[in-house]
Structure 1
Amino acid sequence: MASLEASLSPLIQRWLEWDQDPVTRSEIEQLRDSGQAAELGKRLQKRIQFGTAGLRGRMAAGFSCMNSLTVIQASQGLAKYLRDNHSDLVPRGVIVGYDARHNSAKFATLAANAFIAQEIPVWFLSGPAVTPAVPYGVMDMRALAGVMITASHNPAQDNGYKVYFKNGCQINSPMDKEISDSIDQNLEPWPNAWTDSPDGAFFHPKTYEELLPRYTTRVWHYSKSTVQDWMYPRPFVYTPLHGVGGLVLPALCRSLGITDFTTVAEQVEPDPNFPTLPFPNPEESGALDLAVETADREGKTLIIANDPDADRFAAAEKVEGSWFFFTGNHMGALLASHLFDCLENIDTDTRVAVLNSAVSTTMLEKMAAAKGIYFEESLTGFKWMGNTARKLEESGYYVTFAFEEALGYMFPEVCYDKDGITAAMVFLSAQARWATQGLTPYTKLQQLFAEYGHHETLNNYFRSPNPDTSVALFDSIRAGPFRSEMRLGPFKIHRWRDMTEGYDSGTEDKSPKLPADKGSQMLTLWLDRDVRFTIRASGTEAKVKYYIESCSSSREQATEAVCDTLRAILKEWIQPFSPLLTYNKQLPTSSGYILRLD
């Protein structure tokens, strides 16, 4: 204990020298005075890591957490990186936005101070903003970069720091490492770093008042362009899950004459405490319960939702008296089908491309092939899909759409990141169009299954106590006999891809076509019964996620295959490894079948 306390003393002293936030200073002082060395070690001995997702974590005092000081440090490193490496573009400035979470406005102000210190103009979005407005704004205003303070769908105690470059995409390798190195060289707060009211020639507030109408106009024109004749959607219920979508989508709908909808009263106003749900993620079971109650009370049969920063979109439909919740894969196929129909009048010489992530459904690739559209697989995350779309455009492709199964959809004509506002408007346009064909979103999905095969998925996660445990799990899998014997329980393994080690048994040179990443953990296997599954360690949460899909001529066969696959993963990989990994005992497949694990 004495040696630990001795090593902590200079870290405590440094924190108290640098931190001018009375709340977090007090936290460290109280931990010091009460002798909580172990907790101080967790807080101070490791730094929160800056990567391609920027920063995201729990708000608390300490170098390992999200707080005013670590935001200042990240911003100073980013500002110095931009000044040193892109000085000719510095006059374009940086857009800084924030959502409605606790401390988001304060963190945004502190970030602005760093750019101002480097004489980089700051276009400050004063007022809680939807995340897609920032990547849209970077392109619209030809800014050098953008910063969005948000933790997206994380719990109330979290916050984050998301960075976009001049191409409107999230930063990617190797830029993230270069910015991280710059942060490490600029840790001590600069003069005026703690100013709470920046001003001067380089500070331009209220930009959101100018940018938001341009963004919503762009969304409207794009969604309208996907139908020949604008039609009104059927009545629906909308929830922004206590987030900033409620400040944008209802007003956008009403401005277009869409008035037959109801907002969930308890969730329509931004509330950083998320009082009606512990996990404000529309993927989570129960997240849309209040929307269902509202819809049932009012006799409406369609629900749409955004997550708290409005970059994700979800929908549900009442089918024969029960609610059907569309997965991200369902919605990706539905939106793609609608957009493909819009391409019928496009110039035949135009090369069209679509993307989805390696953990998303294989259905998009089949749909694209049937239409003669180029398909490309991407690594997980829109930092990859956005930049891949840009490269395809540079090669002469028109990229119409990209998505991943975690309720994220990108429309490059609006922005190069996931965009829940545009997704909602395109979905409403599509739903109105399908209605003229006697179809609902659910029956349209069944029509697509009949054409391309029933694609059943079972996506969920194991909770991991820490990143080291997650890495140890993957090491144990690789050390096992599975790759050499090419078997997993009752399944034959037809192909094994390891994106960490850069191995793919399905290519001629045994190297994956996607870029390998030794800093991540990700395996994909192709099995009997047309099963493909991926298991990966999350980069932003304490989870090991898995994604299982089977395609069959019937829902029953596909459902049985994904359930058998999960049982094999549990028996062969998870249970022998560690009791520290926990998981849900009742899991829904994409069609609603509940798998019970005893």
Structure 2
Amino acid sequence: MDTTGLKERAEAWRQADPDPSTAAELAALLAKADWAELEDRFSQDLEFGTAGLRGVLGAGPNRMNRAVIRRTTAGLARYLKEQVPDVATRGVVVGRDARNLSAELAEDTAAVLAAEGIPAHVFPEPVPTPLVAFAALHLNAAAAVMVTASHNPPEYNGYKVYWGNGAQIIPPHDTGIASAIARVEPANRVPLLTPADARAKGLWRDLPAAIGDAYVRAILGLRVVGKGSESLSIVYTAMHGVGGDWAVRALREAGFPRVTPVAEQQQPDGRFPTVRFPNPEEPGAMDLATATAERVKADVVLANDPDADRLAVMARDADGSLRLLTGNEVGVLLGHYVLTQGAKQGKPHVVTTIVSSAQLGDIARSLGAACDEVLTGFKWIANRALEREQAEGTRFVFGYEEALGYTVGTVTRDKDGVGSALVMADLAAWCQARGTTVLGYLEEIQRAHGLYVGAQRNFTFPGAAGAQVIRGIMDAFRASPPKDIGGDAVRAVSDYKKGERGLPPSNVVALELESGGRVTLRPSGTEPKIKYYFELKETLADGEPLAQARARAESRLARFIDAFLGLARERGQPA
């Protein structure tokens, strides 16, 4: 876009921006003639993709702001009126986390829905994402919106959309909503009602505390053994998010009195003052939780991300040291626990993703359970579970993705960090009663089903230029896949953009090795990153110490990763 066209588009957006602060932000950029920044904000619209929107806060169509959300909500409302005949009766649930601008974006969402004649069922305070997903089902709403950027840094926010089945939207609804948004008038012409007018018309309905009480009762019912433990010591961190009160309440009602919150991170704070990146997977994010756990001599550490839909777990190893489990390890533990110790009626069904470990699928098949691998994202897990329930009568018991997302049962049709924390505590208490530990139980599983080791490497390339780098890497691996990686022959290449294995087309490439290892490449759906997922399987010899087998496997994995990254650099990845 030339500077004249860029200036015209930016000025038109500024004039239509209903938020004085972002309008002033654009005016300042125009006054400085900051064409590079304006190009980044106006070269494209923020993509309505992974169940909705997510982006950096700021002015312009390629940022998260009130103008974008008003237009997005108008498009969503009009699409719902086309697709859901009784939407004006059922309404839409609206929730938010405690991030910067979340309150304003949620209010705009409800106000636009109300102006479109759709009742907004509004959580008046910040709530966990899984509570919004639960409320969509509990209230039989036509859809739900959660204003959140999950575990992204403080400068981000987002807008997640659920359909009436309680799951995040998938095609054709995502593309249908995006098309409807594209037809919406400028933001300052989008109709909206004030909260007072909407309440007076019965189109803004504040949700009562009873909804949260029903959610807690429902997740308490997910416990497998359900006996609690007077002696199990648990440290919990909310990571400055909205899960704190909910998780501590649920754990204590479940019979775990020895729960110690990380005080510095327990209350919601959108600045995330003790962590730069409020994701439990990031280096340093668990430091305060670890220090608290050492102080109180905790057995287990449970951590939610800021909107409480993810769960991280730390447990003590054989020498008493705390170790952060990987997402795959937690997924295998919870899945095996539910499959082997849970209810036995019907054919159980578990779902993982193509970038998660293959181990749970192997375990499920050995136990006679149904198992599916789907595309990355919990929307695919939940919708596949619904498909098989309806078509085959299977009983969905567990789903997970390696990025710390898990759900047990059908209380929510999305990942649930609070419910999963409760089941993990239940698992830890069961292990304790058996005279073992969480990591002791994991070793039992690995000895029976193999030691799977994996790793992930992420590379961030921000802005429009970064998006071009990521596209180039993906295109290069498609055009010229390697014949081997570090001397290990590539036996199969799966390009999921072509709809491999009956899955919807997706920008993912997987390379499978003769040795049984695999590497999967994909751009992130929520951040300017390219992600590489690696996995190898090692078989333990009879009586072999687990540490010895793990060292051997990790050494193999390190060589595998180094060899692959060399190939990535040959295909355009900056050094």
After TM superposition, is the score higher than 0.5? Answer: yes
Read off the aligned partner of 2:550 and give its amino acid letter. Answer: R
Q: Percent identity?
A: 34
Task: Give 2:516's match in structure 1, choosing from 526, 530, 555.
Answer: 530
Give the gaps of 5 or more residues in structure 1. Answer: 503-511, 583-598
Stretch deviating more after TM superposition (385-394 or 39-48): 39-48
Contact 1:127 1:208 in 2 (8 A): no
Contact 2:481 2:493 in 1 (8 A): no
- Tell me, in whole angstroms, the C-alpha distance in 2 between the residues paired with 1:45 and 1:455: 43
Distance 1:516 1:85, change over 3 A: closer
Structure-1 residue corresponding to 2:356: 360
Structure 2 counterpart SS, 1:132: helix
Read off the aligned partner of 1:530 and give its amino acid letter. Answer: G
Cα shift at 1:228: 6.2
Task: Give 1:351's match in structure 2, choosing from 347, 350, 353.
Answer: 347
Contact 1:126 1:206 in 2 (8 A): yes
Distance 1:377 1:233, change over 3 A: farther
Task: Give 1:104's match in structure 2, choosing from 90, 102, 105.
Answer: 102
Task: Give 1:568's match in structure 2, choosing from 563, 566, 570.
Answer: 563
Cα shift at 1:94: 0.2
Read off the aligned partner of 1:182 and give its amino acid letter. Answer: A
Cα shift at 1:383: 0.9
Stretch deviating more after TM superposition (54-63 or 180-189): 180-189
- Tell me, in whole angstroms, the C-alpha distance in 2 between the residues paired with 1:208 and 1:285: 38
Distance 1:464 1:35, change over 3 A: closer
Structure 2 counterpart SS, 1:199: helix
Read off the aligned partner of 1:568 and give its amino acid letter. Answer: A
Structure-2 residue corresponding to 1:596: none
Read off the aligned partner of 1:400 and give its amino acid letter. Answer: V
- Tell me, in whole angstroms, the C-alpha distance in 2 between the residues paired with 1:273 and 1:230: 35
Structure-2 residue corresponding to 1:594: none
- Tell me, in whole angstroms, the C-alpha distance in 2 between the residues paired with 1:6 and 1:534: 42
1:406 aligns with 2:394: no
Aligned ranges 1:454-473 → 2 under 5 Å: 454-465=451-462, 466-473=466-473
- Tell me, in whole angstroms, the C-alpha distance in 2 between the residues paired with 1:13 and 1:235: 58
User: How many residue pairs were aligned?
Assistant: 559
Read off the aligned partner of 2:381 and give its amino acid letter. Answer: M
Contact 1:531 1:561 in 2 (8 A): no
Structure-2 residue corresponding to 1:270: 268
Contact 2:234 2:299 in 1 (8 A): yes
- Tell me, in whole angstroms, the C-alpha distance in 1 between the residues paired with 2:555 and 2:4: 58
Structure 2 counterpart SS, 1:558: helix
Contact 1:379 1:514 in 2 (8 A): no
Aligned ranges 1:325-336 → 2 under 5 Å: 325-336=324-335
Structure-1 residue corresponding to 2:546: none
Contact 2:519 2:532 in 1 (8 A): yes
Task: Give 1:85's match in structure 2, choosing from 83, 86, 102.
Answer: 83
Read off the aligned partner of 1:372 and give its amino acid letter. Answer: G
Cα shift at 1:471: 1.0
Distance 1:101 1:194, change over 3 A: farther
Cα shift at 1:194: 7.7
Read off the aligned partner of 2:210 and give its amino acid letter. Answer: E
Contact 1:232 1:432 in 2 (8 A): no
- Tell me, in whole angstroms, the C-alpha distance in 1 between the residues paired with 2:376 and 2:63: 24
Task: Give 2:390's match in structure 1, choosing from 394, 417, 428.
Answer: 394
Contact 2:131 2:215 in 1 (8 A): yes
Structure-2 residue corresponding to 1:545: 531
Read off the aligned partner of 2:261 and give its amino acid letter. Answer: T
Stretch deviating more after TM superposition (557-566 or 398-407): 557-566
Contact 2:228 2:256 in 1 (8 A): no
TM-score (norm 1): 0.90
Contact 1:220 1:425 in 2 (8 A): yes
- Tell me, in whole angstroms, the C-alpha distance in 1 between the residues paired with 2:305 and 2:59: 27
Contact 1:154 1:281 in 2 (8 A): yes
- Residues 216-236 of structure 1, C-alpha deviation per residue, up to 9 Å, x if partnerless? 11011222xx11645446111
Contact 1:239 1:267 in 2 (8 A): yes
Stretch deviating more after TM superposition (40-49 or 371-380): 40-49
Task: Give 1:557's match in structure 2, choosing from 545, 548, 552.
Answer: 552
1:493 aligns with 2:484: no
Structure-2 residue corresponding to 1:200: 200
Cα shift at 1:546: 1.1
Distance 1:453 1:257, change over 3 A: closer
Read off the aligned partner of 2:503 and give its amino acid letter. Answer: P
1:43 aligns with 2:41: yes
TM-score (norm 2): 0.94
Structure-1 residue corresponding to 2:338: 339
Aligned ranges 1:440-519 → 2 under 5 Å: 440-465=437-462, 466-480=466-480, 482=482, 486-502=483-499, 512-517=500-505
- Tell me, in whole angstroms, the C-alpha distance in 2 between the residues paired with 1:179 and 1:411: 29
Task: Give 2:572's match in structure 1, choosing from 553, 556, 578.
Answer: 578
Give the gaps of 5 or more residues in structure 2. Answer: 540-548
Structure-1 residue corresponding to 2:378: 382
